[in-house]
Amino acid sequence: MTNGLWVTLEGGDGSGKTTQAALLAEWLSGQGRTVLHTREPGGSEVGTLIRDIVLHHRGEIAPRAEALLYAADRAHHVATVVRPALERGDVVIQDRYLDSSVAYQGAGRVLDAVQVRDLSLWATEGALPDVTVLLDIDPAAARHRLDADDKPFDRLEAEKEEFHARVRDAYLRLADAEPGRFLTIDATLPPKQIAELVRTRITPLL
């Protein structure tokens, strides 16, 4: 489906995905590339509505309902935003994709990880990114970063440390299972060093 390049960034809350996505987009734009910087959930008008539900809804959302909401956002986002950009030959830099659902809803919510992944693959007609950058960080260190931001936590950020530990373990298992797609980086490294490692990984694919 693609003449472009699709890079996703994954990791626990507070791992620095937003910072690295911005640095990568700035560097690629400087190279003369057309860049689409997007995110899940919330990378489309429909996704913005779903994002408000899954991250800011007051009250409980059943785990399976949560997984389905993320999959619905993902189906629309890929069909209307990501796929057209890749077909134009753009570079898509995306904050979170299906690996987030496997980690957060699969491991975090203790659902079947294979079923959660298969749901997203069905929703997106099997779409997978060219490179997935996993910014790995200990949940306690990530929580310290989030506390320093002095912003209210969303529903997932507010989960207990045990939840975030399961998420991190799931991410590392995903990276071990697909070393050709994943680039795992210590998220406590200086941001400029992380950015250079990311550039080194994707440069041969441009």
Tell me the pLDDT band of 56, cut-offs 50, 70 and 90.
Answer: confident
Q: How far apart are CA 113 and CA 106, in angstroms?
A: 4
- pLDDT exceeds 90 at position 59: no
**Whole-number pLDDT of residue 159:** 72
Q: Which domain holds residue 15?
A: 5-205
Q: Name which of 102, 52, 87, 103 is nearest 73 in CA terms.
A: 52
**Whole-number pLDDT of residue 158:** 67
Q: Name which of 202, 171, 191, 195 is nearest 98 in CA terms.
A: 171
Domain count, the chain: 1
- pLDDT exceeds 90 at position 126: yes
Please state the rounded mean pLDDT for residues 5-28. 95
Check residues 187 and 2 and name the one with the higher pLDDT: 187
Q: How far apart are CA 94 and CA 96, in angstroms?
A: 6
**Whole-number pLDDT of residue 24:** 98
Which residues are within 8 A (CB) of 87 and not within 5 positions of it... i.e. 6 or more apart? 1, 2, 3, 4
In this predicted model, what pLDDT tens digit does every residue of 162-191 receive, in sequence order? 888 999 999 999 999 999 999 999 999 999
Residue with tokens 């997978």: 128
What CATH number is attached to the domain comprising 190? 3.40.50.300
